[in-house]
Structure formats: structure tokens, C-alpha cells
Amino acid sequence: MAGMDTAAGVDWAARLQASLTGIPAQPVAEPPPVEPIAEPEALAAAPIHVALAEDSPEPTPPVAAAPAHALPAPSPTIGDVLAALSSPTSDAVPADLGPLPTFPLFDAMQPVRPAPASGQANLLAALDQPNERVNPRQAAPRTPVMPAEPPPGMFEDADISALDAMRADAPAEDGIVVDWFGLRTPVALAPELKAYAGTLLPRPALSDPRAPAAEWIGLAVSVATARETWRALDLGAGRGDLLLAGAVAARRLGLALSLHATEARAETFSALWTHAEANGIDPAAHRIQQAELGTDLGNPPPRGALVQDWLKEFETWDWVRIARPGALTPLLRSSVALLSARVRVLTFTTHGRVEEATAIRALPRAGWRLVAELPSVVDRASPRTAKTPGVHVWRGPLT
């Protein structure tokens, strides 16, 4: 080796460096000779062989079952780990817990779809089909379900009894929806009730396909407390679901009918007229008009027709319903005394918290009692208006 005296074991280059730096050189020991590794006799005897495709692999001998005492301990559960972490005498997970258990969701790195519910099976099956756009309404058709019974205490027992007394027990008819009061509604007039065709609607509870339960409660109370004649005024009657349901129930109880209603929309007014005829009620024998009555005494409509003028024509009204937006507040501000003297049950649709607050301030002072209500849902961007209308039902001093 260059620069090294093998006999003396001294590296002359290191000695030169030591003379220049002042650090004495250390002798370098020669490494021990490396002995060759003995090749195992089995490997030496075996020839090098590359397995080809046509070679038949040797069958894998069965693995003998490990004895019971040698089986590994089961993996700890999440509950074991949490219990150990929450133990007041331990600051760390004990060593004998071993690694946390693994789960298929993370091992497979694929989302696990839960078992579909019965109503979602068709939709999920359709979603699995590639390159197809799915309409959820077509994949999983909605079956209408009538609401459950209202919770105890939501309505008074006497009012629920009045609603029970309106049960008609009418037979079902093809193409006709028959409700609790006995009202017959052809599906042609109410496409949204098509799923109920040929059936009998149960007692209105929390909601109804046509109106909230609060309105049906007020209607039943007005019919149950009427004497000889059921006189009703529906301002904004629409298709007449409530007005005509009360009429057929009152007629079945032997009461005479005095129906008064207005509806401004021509198409809806035509449906109201046809609906009445489908239930054996002659609209011409009553005052059912395509009109819009006003309630503001200081600003009457162009034709001068006011609700107050209609109310003054009879001493007693069993049921008055006001559904036209903007009509309630002027009526309550100017005519509470008239309502108290002539109306037994007052039902109105609220189109904001202002109308609800006005009714709550004005009616109890005059002896009115709130029977049922459904608060309106206000629009947060414009709190003075309602995104979803509400309902108030009041019983007057005459009831």
C-alpha cells in the first residue's frame, strides 16, 4: 500500500501530517482476514432452476393449527381504548392493549354505502347505472301519508269532540275524494288530491292536504254550536273546501244553510261553483260571488262593497273566515265591536306577525278566546311579511 510500511504498521503520510500539525500519529492495525462463508450443502447441491409456466407447482402443505395457548389475543375495541384513556390511574394507553383495531372503511379506502331503506331502493339502484340522469320523483314515487294525531293539549277536548262529531261515514267513490265532513271533491277539481282518489280522508290532525287542522277545528265548533241555520261568510273562499265541508256537515245535522262567499280569481271561482254543485248545493240559492270585499272604512273598494256591510245584514254569523291578504288589520282596528256582537267563530289567515299581534291585542279585550292557532313563518329578509301564512281561530262572546 502506498505511503504505508506494512512491516511496521505505520502510515508515513499520517506521520508527515503529525509532524506538521503536532498531533502524534496512531498506528493503524491491519484488519483481520475475512473468512469465506460456507455455502450450505443443500444450496450447493441444488441446481439453479427457474420455474416455467408449464411447471406444475408443488401443493402447499396445510398449515397446522396453532395450539390454543398460542393464539393471539383479540384486538382491543374502541371502548377498551377509551376506558383506558379515561382511567384516573393511567396517563397513557397500556402496552398490553396493542394496536388499535382496523376497520374495512379505511382498509379498503372506499366509501361503504349503507343498506338502502325500502323507499330508497329504486333510487339507489338507478344511481348505480352509468350515464343516466335520474329523477328522484320517478325513481322513488312519494306515497301520501296522512299526519298523525295531534299531541295532547294542543287543542281543547271539547273542540276535539266537536270535530269527532262531524264524522260522515260516507262511502268511497271512484275518482272522488271524500273527507271527514262528508265533502265530495272530484279529482278533476283538485289534482293535488289525485293520490287520495277513491279513499276516505281521516280526521284532520296536525295538517291536511287542503288546510291546517286549526281551521278544521274552528269549522267543526261553528257547526256544532249553530242553531237552526248555519250561516257562514268566507272572504277569499278559493275552491270552497272549508265552506262546503261545513255546509254538508250542517245539512247532515238538519241545519238550514246560508252561505256567503267571495273569490276574486275567475278560474278558482269557477271551481268553487262546480264544487258546490258536486255536493248538491245550488250556488245560485246562496250569495257566492266573484268579488273582492274591502275592510278599510276610510278607503272602500271601487264598488264600495265592505265586509262590514255584509256582517250587518244578519244578527248572527256562525262562521266567518278571512283569507284575503291585507283585509284583517283594518277590520280589527275599526270593527271589533261589530264582530263581537254578531260573529260566533272567527277564523283568519295571518300574513305576518303584525296581523297576529293586532289580533292578540284587540280580541281578548272584547271577550274573545283563542281556540287554535298556527303561527306564520316570517321572511327574515323582510320580517313584516310571512313566507308561510299562519292561522288563528277565535271564539267570540256569543259562543
Structural domain including 365 reads 205-395
Does any domain span residue 69?
no
Residue 292 scores a pLDDT above 70: yes
- 122 vs 126, 139, 140, 273, 383, CA distance in Å? 6, 6, 6, 42, 41
| Grid cell listed for 93 | 394507553
With cut-offs at 50, 70 and 90, classify the pLDDT of residue 283: very high
Per-residue b/e over 113-124, b at no fewer than 16 CB within 10 Å? eeeeeeeeebbb
State which H helix or E strand residue 251 sits in.
helix 241-252
Q: Which of 135-144, 237-246, 247-256, 352-361 shows the lowest per-residue confidence on average (mean pLDDT)? A: 135-144
With cut-offs at 50, 70 and 90, classify the pLDDT of residue 215: very high
Predicted local confidence at residue 16, as pLDDT = 57
Mean pLDDT of 149-160: 62
With cut-offs at 50, 70 and 90, classify the pLDDT of residue 378: confident
Mean pLDDT of 125-149: 47
If one counts the domains in the chain, the total is 1
The predicted-structure confidence for 380-393, as pLDDT tens digits, reads as follows 888 877 888 999 99
Give the closest residue to 25 by CA, choosing from 3, 10, 4, 6: 10
More confident residue, 385 or 202: 202
| Grid cell listed for 73 | 389475543
Does any domain span residue 260?
yes
Does any domain span residue 175?
no
Determine the Cα–Cα distance for residues 35 and 325; give it in Å rounded to an integer. Answer: 107
Mean pLDDT of 177-202: 93
Residue 131 scores a pLDDT above 50: no
Mean pLDDT of 202-218: 84
Determine the Cα–Cα distance for residues 333 and 358; give it in Å rounded to an integer. Answer: 8
Residue 142 scores a pLDDT above 50: no
Does any domain span residue 188?
no
Residue 126 scores a pLDDT above 90: no
State which H helix or E strand residue 230 sits in.
strand 229-235
CATH of the domain at 252: 3.40.50.150
Predicted local confidence at residue 190, as pLDDT = 93
Average pLDDT, the chain: 75
Predicted local confidence at residue 20, as pLDDT = 57
For the chain, helix, strand, coil in percent to 5 are 35, 15, 50
| Grid cell listed for 75 | 384486538
Mean pLDDT of 83-93: 49
With cut-offs at 50, 70 and 90, classify the pLDDT of residue 229: very high
Does any domain span residue 170?
no
Does any domain span residue 388?
yes
- 251 vs 17, 186, 234, 353, CA distance in Å? 128, 20, 18, 36
Backbone angles phi, psi at 65, to 5 degrees: -65, 140
- 33 vs 9, 29, 30, 36, CA distance in Å? 16, 12, 9, 10
Does any domain span residue 320?
yes
Predicted local confidence at residue 175, as pLDDT = 93
Global pTM exceeds 0.85:
no
Give the closest residue to 241 by CA, choosing from 200, 291, 186, 175: 186
Let me know the angle formed at the C-alpha of 259 by 254 and 263, rounded to the nearest 5 degrees: 150
The predicted-structure confidence for 303-362, as pLDDT tens digits, reads as follows 768 999 999 999 999 999 999 888 999 999 999 999 999 999 999 999 888 899 999 999
Does any domain span residue 156?
no
